[in-house]
Amino acid sequence: MARTFLLALICTLTLTASAQPTWRFHLAFEDGTGARDTIWMVYDITATTGTFPYPGPNVDTLLGEGPVMVNDGLFHVFLTNALGDTTRTNAYPYSVYPSFDGTIIDAIHWIPPMTISWDTALFHASYLPYAQGSFGVAFMDGIAFSQFDTGLGFGQFNMLTNDSVTIDFLSDYLFQIPVIFGPSDDTRILETSAVNGGLHIWPNPVHDKVWIAPSYGTMKAISICDIAGRLIFHQDNLMSSELINTSALSPGHYFIHTITTQNHIENGTFEKIP
């Protein structure tokens, strides 16, 4: 009996020592009034994804994915859980680590400037299930980040080499923000451009109207900026392709940023000619 107990204790201690720790990553938001809120992204061996069979069990309330109310007129940042309820936490199983395309953050009742901060040390936690023990890429994506050059591309803010960013620019279009993690720069296949067969832009150069269509899925939103980063055009709830009237634009080059209903990101450029 004593030997059986001892073996059981050894097995328990071994499993405890080798169990995958929960990885909790937070993004802290503070708006111009000093109001604060926080978003959490969690990896855990118990986390679930999807909604089949409906409704779950795919909302991991023990990991914080339960619904929260955000309609009280105060500043809030929020996500949606697997059932479409507002939440402040998205939990993922380690089986999807380290790549997802993944957490879409929104906000209400905020006043610019907005400061977003995070702990870069968490990208290098020794227990992460990746050969190098760290993420190879982590970025926020959005037209409001086009004023920064962090080495990833237009509108992509590199979170690995920075621990905060302050936005007082294109304030109406800061949100929604996709947050994307991955093992290496190969994750950037999520973003394609017109020059490599991604976003379809025709004609280009353009005189008065330009037709824009994604190479993947259906567009959810489109934004157009000039080379100074000023927002020229923004529209939500689009069709699978969109015809944009450019007749009022000055000649020059313009940037296009699109997000599809599948949260696929495609960027491109076009030239307006007289």
**Spatial distance between the Cα atoms of 85 and 70, rounded to a whole number of angstroms:** 10
Q: Are 37 and 76 in contact (CB under 8 A)?
A: yes
pLDDT for the residue 6:
40
What count of other Cβ atoms lies within 10 Å of the Cβ of residue 165?
A: 19
pLDDT above 70: residue 193: no
Nearest to 235 by CA among 227, 226, 245, 249: 245
Of 98, 103, 51, the closest CA to residue 77 belongs to 103
> What pLDDT was estimated at residue 200?
78
Q: Which of the four CATH numbers 1.20.1530.20, 1.20.1250.20, 2.60.40.3080, 2.70.70.10 does domain 193-272 have?
A: 2.60.40.3080
Q: What is the pLDDT of residue 101?
A: 57
Average pLDDT over residues 80-96: 84
Average model confidence (pLDDT) across the chain:
77
What pLDDT score was predicted for residue 117? 98
Over the Cα atoms of the chain, what is R_g? 22
Give tens-digit pLDDT for 132-146.
567 878 888 877 887
Q: What's the pLDDT score for residue 204? A: 81
3-state secondary structure of 171: helix
What's the confidence (pLDDT) of residue 156? 83
- pLDDT tens for residues 145-182? 878 888 877 778 999 989 999 988 766 667 878 888 87
Parts of the chain belonging to CATH 2.60.40.3080 = 193-272
Beta bridge partners of residue 236, listed in sequence order: 221
Maximum average pLDDT range among 6-15, 85-94, 113-122:
113-122
| Residue 265, pLDDT above cutoff 80 | no
Q: Which residue has the higher pLDDT, 207 or 53?
A: 207
Which pLDDT score is estimated for 63? 92
Task: State pTM to two decimals.
Answer: 0.68
pLDDT of 267 above 80: no
What is the reported pLDDT for 7?
Answer: 41
| pLDDT (average), residues 199-216 | 81
* pLDDT over 80 (residue 19): no
Name which of 228, 189, 206 is nearest 99 in CA terms. Answer: 189
Q: Which of 105, 113, 74 is nearest to 87 (CA)?
A: 105
> Does the structure show a pLDDT above 70 at 17?
no
Give the whole-number percent of the chain exceeding pLDDT 70: 74
Query: What token pair was written down for 63?
Result: 């990991």
